[in-house]
Structure 1
Amino acid sequence: MGREKKKGTSGNVKAFISREKALKKLQLSLQEFRRLCILKGIYPRDPRKKFEGSDKTYYLRKDIDFLAHERLIGTIRQQNSHRKKVVKARSKRRIDILKRLALSAPKTRLDHLVLERYPNFVDAIRELDDPLCIVALFANLPADHNVGIAPERVSRCQCLLREFHNYVAHTNSLRRVFVSIKGYYFQADIMGESVTWITPHRFSQILPADVDYSVMLTFLELYECIMSFVNFRLYTSQNLAYPPKILRPADAKALELSSLVVEKTAKSDVDRRQGQGDGDKDEPNQLPAETVKIAEKLAMEAKNEEDDDDYEFDDEAPGNDPDMADGDESSSQAGRSGVFNGKSVVLGREVPYAELEFCLRAAGAEKVSREDDLTDTENRLSGYTHWIIDRPKVSGNRDMSLEYVQPQYVFDSINAGLLLPPSLYTPGAPLPPHLSPFVSEEDDGGYRPWFKDIIERIKAGDTSVVEEAAAVVYTEEAAKYDKTGDRKKKRTSEENNRRNEAVKDSQEVHNSSAANTKEVVDKDLEMEIENSSHDTAEETVAKELDNRIDDGSAQGADKKDEEPEDDEDEEGEEEKISKSNSERMDKEGRDMATLMLSRKKMRQYQKHKRMEDHKLATRDKLTQKRKRLEAARAEREANKAKRKRQ
């Protein structure tokens, strides 16, 4: 016989551990354990045999052993100890101790987690989609301390996103743009990898109450650190100073990319920091010293890897000089020409400025200005080539040297890779379809939009296709209006048919009732003739004629009375239809006005609505109570009267 195995030394019991035992082993709370698992990338597992019950959550034992050696656990314990000291000093009202504790608060460092997750810089670029989407989301959310979103967090996300957009615009790396109801989809080509992210529309956001913001904020904490490393590495690879300087007057006007000053350096950012020493301590938005040190180490390792790969490819190639590697990459990417290369654009006050400025600068536009920033001189539009406008028509005098186009012109031109004819995007004109560059014919079941063929013909140099495309667009718009008119005519004819059927039904009911009345009258006449023996035949005939005359006059009166009732029914139906349409339009208008409210106005509106609902509910309760009291009083009086009669 073999040696008997001890219980718990092999199988699922050895490979897995329940969450309750993991918390006890690590001596952490559930919230701290969840945060640590998110930061380290550890997820629950589903063993085939759940040895402690199916209602438990299981983890790999080796993952928990890996977490036991994490330095963040020590930081968490230091923070818990520091929090207890703060509570104790606050209860004793020791202001001096509180000030000292505020300066010595332990901070969480996530730099080592970035190095663990991404040994190579290309790996970080390849998985940059999620960090960019989360950072862009929180950059457009309002600060709310109730859910843990601090204003400093929102400002930090806005800064990181703006720095990344500035790099994409500087290197002309933007490849695809698509505008949907969710926001703006962007795709850039960075170091040979496609990075796709979405930026939400800049509307007043309402934070839903059924979202766990603590989980999202934990992910954001990690993604902020990743974005800091990525931005630092991208800027240093182009020999650009990081972080870029911010022009305070332009930043106060919310000029986005125009407020950033990109400075080129003759040597790498690492050498620049070593040469300046402690001179960068007062620079705004400066990264911590430990983060900079690790990022510089990562940058040097990535640079050495690139140099080694170049030498393995061709040792005698003139472009493989390790001292010129970053410079060649910078010149090659910065030298790309976009579709708006050399163009100067004016953005109207009604268009989305931040997204259009980013797209235009990434497409090579030389100058992008807002309508409000133009001077009032006569030559204020000299040098400009395009004016992006989203109004039905151009207000004021139209400058014939400018091309007035709608915002879709910018996005479609970037996706097409060339400047499309501006005549298709004139203000107030129906626009061609905005095609998604992320959907191919194979994904869409072999369907090929007609405007895609138009773009291919424009690329081939066919100038006659512009009039054809405009004719197709106008035809589609006319078809839409015709369909709307047909629907209205169909609805009107259906209503008329229903009314005619109702009139016919009422006439049939009236005729059947008249016939029944006539039969009853005839029977009564026969009974009277049989019973009255003293009446002569002439008197009987006269009575019958008189009765029939009376019946005819009564039927005529009934018809006259029913005809206006039918008219009244038709008028009532029309009034109901018009009333329902007006109520629906009023409701849509109220909903649209509610969406356009600011956050403060929205809170006031919701408070007012709750008060009105409370008033209506109270009034209904009082009305029902009064009805019950009146019914009880009437019942008592009836019982009293009944007793008196008895």
Structure 2
Amino acid sequence: MRRPKKYEAGEATQYISRRAALRKLQLSLNDFRRLCILKGVYPREPKHRRRAQKGSSEIKILYHTKDIRFLLHEPIVWTLRDYKIFAKKSGRDRAIKDFRNLKRRLALFPEIKLDHIVKERYPTFIDALKDLDDCLTLLFLFSTFPSLHLIPREQSNLCRRLTIEFLHYVIASKSLRKVFISIKGYYFQAEIKGQKVTWIVPHYYPFKPQSRQEVDFKVMSIFVEFYTIMLGFTNYRLYHGLNLAYPPQFPSSMLQDNEETLKDETSFVSERIAALNFELLRTDKVQEDEEEPDIDMELLEQDGDSKRIIKMKQEAQEIARLRNLFKGLKFFINREVPREPLVIIIRSFGGKVSWDSSVFSGSTYDESDETITHQIVDRPSLSTQYISRDYIQPQWVFDCVNQRQLLPTNKYFLGEELPPHLSPFVDAKRDTYVPPEEKALHDPSLIETHAQSDDESDEEEAAQNEDDTVDQELLDAQLQRAYQQETAEYKKYGGPDGVNEDEEDTDDDFDGEQESDEEEEELDEKTKRLQEEKKKMSVQSGKVHKVNKRQLHKAEVDEHRLQARMVKPRHRNLFRKLIREKQSKEKEEWLLRKKRRNIDNDTKEAKKLVKREAKKAAAAAAAAASQLGVK
């Protein structure tokens, strides 16, 4: 039997370098990168790099050999080769100025079809929904881009249309569940067919050109090319599930790109938002206001797990209330407020929204409408206000959705300092630092400000001191009453009135002294008993137990060393990784606590400074008034 040579089996044959893959597929580096992105083939990290690279010590980009063999049978490879042939022939025609033949070749330009790749990567519809997060985030980003060298206007327009179609489905199905404002943009989470889909809508800023070293738009545009096909399939399936006509029919003036809209970026964005404020055409005759039938949970009571059924009922009822959170409310958005996220949120929960028609298109009613219930303003004051509506800041809408109820509007009035905007995407039962505002949401008894807690602590101390004084007075009164009773008994039974003690017999004196000694002992016992009861009832100040931090730290270090000694050698790397993660979490928690402590100290100092200035102003006003009175 022939002895196998070195690197002919095992890990050396499982991996292939990128250069060898290019030779095997006969493609350029750009075409190979495009093909790998479309097919979902990525570089791999071997366990033993030296074995995988057949003894070479340099760092190479490695792929699985099976993945490259899988790409050999891809039809797109032939289309990419046709691109190369087309480029050579069209360049030749351009060089010899054969424009007639060049025009014929341009009409036969080879196009890549990605439908079969979408079906390969996502065999079921649920698989496509699970991978929809990155797709939506990237398409929403590209929908805001202007026409660039590597991003044609047709691609950004397609992204804009597909994202608007998806948002219309979210509004029509009322599947939005969570929202959050971040420095990156607006986070949205919808529940579609039982799957949670999360995406980011970026803030609207004028586009700033980026250098090629910072952002590779060419690679991103390849992802967009695949994701547009995928989202088109998904939208088609979602619309037909709701009996909506696809593609959706918008008004003739909406989403029509002409020279004016392409030049003016604000009108380009305003048309996109205006399209979200229109209802879609349905293929059936179901009324728009008709609610979905409730889930019949009584059919599930045959299961033995009744707690699970009760929990499902509660969740279904809570979601049913959330879907109609803003039903019957009419909102008006001022011109300084970002409209797109608010239109998505308000319409997804059954509300109606409009804005100033003289500034933006797509408004449905004017500001003077008396049926408006809430007006969203992001400025400290307004010149004209209506009594029949609430003037609130935009954060109220987001907080109502996250807490799944209509919150009081007094904390969100114009010019008010807003409460903290908490993220709904974190786990409430996590082991890391939890801010006090988030704790107050889960425990209503903790809802209080720092000033109120300080005032209440002062009041509690004063009330405790009063209780101590009252207890002291009662004990003193009891002692005084007992002493008076003992003295009265002594006078009653000690001797006859009017008899001089010096004239009594010695026997009488001896008996009297014994009786007086016994009475004094009884009195002393009663006083001792009362004093002991008084000590038990009294409140004693607690003693501060000083903790030796060095000893605690030393004990922790010793315990950690004992744990490290007990770990087996093959598990040491895993143990070190766990310890590093634990230390990083502790450091993050410590930094957050320190940051919150500094913020609280700054707010206390600011309040104290305001009080001092107010006292100084009051003293100055009193002094000025006294001077005027003297004059």
TM-score of the superposed pair, with normalisation by structure 2? 0.60
- Report deviation, 1:417: 0.7
Among 361, 377, 390, the alignment partner of 1:389 is: 377
2: distance between equivalents of 1:14 and 1:61? 7
Equivalent in the alignment of 2:605: 483
Decide whether aligned partners of structure 1 residues 55 and 469 sit closer, same or farther in structure 2, where only a CA change above 3 A counts: closer
2: distance between equivalents of 1:446 and 1:241? 48
- Report deviation, 1:18: 2.1
8 Å CA contact retained: 1:343, 1:385:
yes
1: distance between equivalents of 2:392 and 2:449? 16
- Report deviation, 1:37: 1.0
8 Å CA contact retained: 1:347, 1:371:
no
Code of the residue aligned with 2:125 in structure 1: it is F
Equivalent in the alignment of 2:424: 437
8 Å CA contact retained: 2:337, 2:377:
yes
- Report deviation, 1:484: 5.1
CA-based RMSD of the aligned residues comes to 3.6
Between stretches 413-422 and 56-65, larger displacement belongs to: 56-65
Instruction: Specify the SS of the correspondent of 2:253.
Output: helix
2: distance between equivalents of 1:423 and 1:186? 26
1: distance between equivalents of 2:336 and 2:237? 36
Equivalent in the alignment of 1:104: 108
Decide whether aligned partners of structure 1 residues 177 and 401 sit closer, same or farther in structure 2, where only a CA change above 3 A counts: same
8 Å CA contact retained: 2:7, 2:54:
no
Equivalent in the alignment of 1:420: 407
Code of the residue aligned with 1:95 in structure 2: it is F
2:390 aligned with 1:399: no
- Report deviation, 1:408: 0.3
For 1:184-239, what per-residue CA distance to the aligned partner results, in whole angstroms no more than 9, with x for missing partners? 11111111111111111001232331222222111111111111111111111111
Equivalent in the alignment of 2:159: 157
2: distance between equivalents of 1:425 and 1:150? 43
Equivalent in the alignment of 2:323: 337
For 1:56-76, what per-residue CA distance to the aligned partner results, in whole angstroms no more than 9, with x for missing partners? 322222111110000000111
Equivalent in the alignment of 1:625: none
In the TM superposition, 1:465-484 aligns within 5 A as 480=602, 483=605
- Report deviation, 1:246: 2.0
- Report deviation, 1:446: 5.6
2: distance between equivalents of 1:457 and 1:371? 43
Instruction: Specify the SS of the correspondent of 1:399.
Output: coil
In the TM superposition, 1:551-562 aligns within 5 A as none
- Report deviation, 1:471: 8.2
Decide whether aligned partners of structure 1 residues 113 and 392 sit closer, same or farther in structure 2, where only a CA change above 3 A counts: same
8 Å CA contact retained: 1:346, 1:369:
yes
Code of the residue aligned with 1:364 in structure 2: it is G
2: distance between equivalents of 1:58 and 1:107? 30
Decide whether aligned partners of structure 1 residues 66 and 441 sit closer, same or farther in structure 2, where only a CA change above 3 A counts: same
- Report deviation, 1:356: 0.9
Q: How many residues align?
A: 416
Equivalent in the alignment of 1:34: 33
Among 332, 339, 349, the alignment partner of 1:346 is: 332
Equivalent in the alignment of 1:193: 195
Instruction: Specify the SS of the correspondent of 1:398.
Output: coil
Decide whether aligned partners of structure 1 residues 142 and 384 sit closer, same or farther in structure 2, where only a CA change above 3 A counts: same
For 1:113-155, what per-residue CA distance to the aligned partner results, in whole angstroms no more than 9, with x for missing partners? 111111110111111111111111112233221xx01121111
Instruction: Specify the SS of the correspondent of 1:400.
Output: coil
2: distance between equivalents of 1:376 and 1:76? 50
- Report deviation, 1:383: 2.4
Equivalent in the alignment of 1:220: 224
2: distance between equivalents of 1:453 and 1:405? 23
Higher helix share: 1
Equivalent in the alignment of 1:585: none
Code of the residue aligned with 2:323 in structure 1: it is S
- Report deviation, 1:30: 1.0
8 Å CA contact retained: 2:355, 2:367:
no
1: distance between equivalents of 2:601 and 2:31? 60
Instruction: Specify the SS of the correspondent of 1:227.
Output: helix
1: distance between equivalents of 2:113 and 2:205? 34
Among 265, 272, 282, the alignment partner of 1:264 is: 282
8 Å CA contact retained: 2:114, 2:226:
yes
Q: What percent of counterpart residues are identical? A: 39
Decide whether aligned partners of structure 1 residues 20 and 124 sit closer, same or farther in structure 2, where only a CA change above 3 A counts: same
- Report deviation, 1:156: 1.3
8 Å CA contact retained: 1:178, 1:185:
yes
For 1:139-181, what per-residue CA distance to the aligned partner results, in whole angstroms no more than 9, with x for missing partners? 2233221xx0112111111111111111111111111111011
8 Å CA contact retained: 2:331, 2:376:
yes
2: distance between equivalents of 1:456 and 1:140? 42
Gaps of 5+ in 1: 268-312, 315-332, 489-646
TM-score of the superposed pair, with normalisation by structure 1? 0.58
In the TM superposition, 1:449-598 aligns within 5 A as 449-450=436-437, 453=440, 480=602, 483=605
For 1:368-393, what per-residue CA distance to the aligned partner results, in whole angstroms no more than 9, with x for missing partners? 34464699999941322111110111
2: distance between equivalents of 1:197 and 1:120? 21
Equivalent in the alignment of 1:182: 184
Decide whether aligned partners of structure 1 residues 7 and 376 sit closer, same or farther in structure 2, where only a CA change above 3 A counts: closer
- Report deviation, 1:78: 1.3
8 Å CA contact retained: 1:129, 1:197:
yes
Decide whether aligned partners of structure 1 residues 472 and 138 sit closer, same or farther in structure 2, where only a CA change above 3 A counts: farther
- Report deviation, 1:478: 11
- Report deviation, 1:14: 2.7
Decide whether aligned partners of structure 1 residues 390 and 92 sit closer, same or farther in structure 2, where only a CA change above 3 A counts: same
